[in-house]
Structure 1
Amino acid sequence: MTQKHKILHQLPALAGLLLGLSSYPLSAEETGYQADKQAERFAYKAQNPLSPTYSIPLEYTQHGGADNGDVSIGSIKPIIPVALGNDWHMINQLSLNFIGTPGAVNGIAELPEPYPGNGVAGLGDTTLTSLFTAPISDSFMIGFGPTFVFPTDTLMSDTEDRRSRELGSGKFSVGPALTFVTQPRPWTAGVSIKQIWSVFGNDSRHSVSQMILEPFVNYNLSDGWYLTSDMDMIANWGSQTNQHWTVPVGGGFGKVLPIGKHALNTKLEAYYNPIRPDQNSPEWSANLTLQFLFGK
């Protein structure tokens, strides 16, 4: 076989090798693009409290600067959607709160009527919100339903000087909840409103009348990064000081990390309270969130 014939004989193999080498950067680029799109898809789900996506958020919040000390709250907040047919879902949001408090601290959602004491740690009250929702358009959703607060604080008893009573209101409370969400990309914005009133419980404790107004906004960047502000504005209407409102300002950032068909949403935030009760209220709060999202 001549040298010319040898070269012609090897041309198909050389062409295949060149084709493979030329397609490798494109495949890597496509893989990176797919990962970015998956992170973006999970980011919009994580930022939408009405998304019918199973998830388990774990949150740690530190409230600092109160007169008698800081309050630490670790929460487990599973989100369990139930399909109802015809695009309707019931989004069940459960919140189990483990609290460490130095005594009575005002202006905290989990402690609407704080009980004075020398400090305790344990399980606080449990909140369940069930929102019925259906998409109004491709980028707008409304959810409405009831919210319940169960007096599950540790070592519950009829004796009000028990230190465990500092972890909850001592009341079963109920009220309406309403959430609006819009997602014109790259934004996610909305507001959640809850109002609860105590129905029954220990008669020696103050009645509960609390509203939580939670406006939120997110701006999505590339590679799963985003900026966020999620402010819990709290009004305790039964406050004995006639200073009902706690209003924070601030924000933070987050990143969504795809894990196969699932994802991990991480978020770090800090807030300052320019409006707050004069006595026994925190000046600031900081929180860390790890949210596990389960893909379909």
Structure 2
Amino acid sequence: MRNFFLFCIGLFVLPAQAEGLTPSLAQWQRTAQNPLSPNFSLPIEYKFHGGAPDGDVHIGSFGAIMPIRFDGWNIINELTLNIMGTPGDITGIRGLPQPYTGDGHGGSDGYAAGLADTYFTSYFSPRINDEFSLGLGATFVFPTDEPSRELGSGKFSIGPAVMLVYQTPKYWTLGLQAQQIWSVIGSAERDHVSQMIVKPTINYNLPDGWYLQSNMEVIANWESPSDQRWTVPVGVGIGKIFAVGKNAIDTRIEGHYNAVTPDLGPTWSINASFTFIFDELD
């Protein structure tokens, strides 16, 4: 009889202990919404940019966020490969700082599709506290559309990057990312690149892993005329976290209207992403 009672107690105690070792949906929400969290993740994203005079742009992105952990600070490395399809004479998005207008396979004479620019950003991120995260680093853009140079910028570019993230204990995550890149070397047929990307992000967490999000990518192409320089989107989206054992999957979809856009730029966009997040939370 004594062994029977011990067995019954174990049925309740052991699952409770196991559950305590597994992050909750609320913890996973904080992790997924903070790009400076030291968790390895694999984001997959699709972006559709529509409403441009010369056609639409499709971008599929495959990335990896690879943290290196140290005592009191981390290095957060982000690598992103981009597959693009575009008719050519389109600008106003990050992957197309200026339109490609060469003849042949791309530009105004046809449609080009394939591997576009590859992005790599590395942040030095000191551990400040549970609410505030800071990242300082650099961004590198590689023109991996070789040899056509019809997609992306056609230039190797580099510049500084900064990220700030503030998270309240329950509901809110507020973030700001800023990057400025300048081209160093690349195709002589493509213009010099000087592009700023600023991404203010607002997340509001709901029960059961749901959340609302606004993740706007404001872009300035400084080499363009002042009336063709800015892209300013306004939009909102919804997301859901799914816990899978000690790992998680983050899904989200978001739509934007470009309140300001160049003449050759898109007027709206839809983004959908699917992110695998690994490793236990600290």
> Structure 2: which amino acid aligns with 1:206?
D
1:57 aligns with 2:43: yes
State the alpha-carbon separation in 2 of the partners of residues 258 and 35 from structure 1. Answer: 13
TM-score when normalising by structure 2: 0.88
Paired position in structure 1 for 2:189: 204
Q: Does 1:182 align with 2:159?
A: no
Cα distance in 2, alignment partners of residues 175 and 242 from structure 1: 24
- 1:149 corresponds to which residue? 141
Q: Could you tell me which residue of structure 2 aligns to residue 5 of structure 1?
A: none
Count of matched residue pairs: 271
- Map Cα deviations across residues 5-27 of structure 1 (whole Å, 9 max, x no partner): xxxxxxx89x97xxx7xx99x99
Match runs of 1:125-144 below 5 Å: 125-144=117-136
Of the candidates 23, 28, 34, which is equivalent to residue 42 of structure 1?
28
Q: Aligned equivalents of 1:273 and 1:43: distance in 2?
A: 28
The reply on whether 1:122 has 2:119 as its aligned counterpart is no
Shift of 1:205: 1.6
Task: Read off the aligned partner of 2:276 and give its amino acid letter.
Answer: F
Q: Which residue of the partner structure matches residue 263 of structure 1? A: 248
Residue among 66, 76, 79 paired with 2:52: 66
CA contact under 8 A between 2:205 and 2:211: conserved in structure 1?
Answer: yes
Give the fraction of aligned pairs with identical amino acids, expressed as a percent: 49
Match of 1:170 in 2: 154
Instruction: Write out per-residue CA displacement over residues 10-57 of structure 1, whole angstroms, 9 at most, x where no aligned residue.
Output: xx89x97xxx7xx99x99x979x9699621111111100111110000
Larger C-alpha radius of gyration, 1 or 2?
Answer: 1
Report if aligned partners of 2:74, 2:127 keep a CA contact under 8 Å in 1.
Answer: no
- The answer to whether the 8 A contact 2:249-2:276 is kept is yes
- Over aligned residue pairs, what C-alpha RMSD do you find? 2.6
Aligned to 1:283: 267
Q: CA deviation at 1:111?
A: 1.2
Which amino acid in 1 is paired with 2:84?
Answer: I
Q: Give SS of 1:43's match.
A: helix
Summarize deviations over 1:175-212 as a string: whole Å, max 9, x none: 00000001013111110000000011123321000000
2:206 maps to a residue whose letter is L
Instruction: State the TM-score, normalizing by the size of structure 1.
Output: 0.84
Gaps of at least 5 residues in structure 1 are: 1-11, 157-163
Q: Is the 8 A contact 2:149 2:187 kept in 1?
A: no
Kindly provide the amino acid, as one letter, of the partner of residue 171 in structure 1.
Answer: K
Task: Measure the CA separation in 1 of the matches of 2:72 and 2:236.
Answer: 33
Give the match for residue 72 of structure 2: 87
- Aligned to 1:42, what secondary structure does the other structure show? helix
Cα distance in 2 between the residues matched to 1:190 and 1:287: 18
Structure 2: any 5+ residue segments left out of the alignment? 102-106
1:104 Cα deviation from its structure 2 partner:
1.8
Query: Is the aligned partner of 1:113 residue 2:105?
Result: no
Q: Does structure 1 residue 76 correspond to structure 2 residue 62?
A: yes
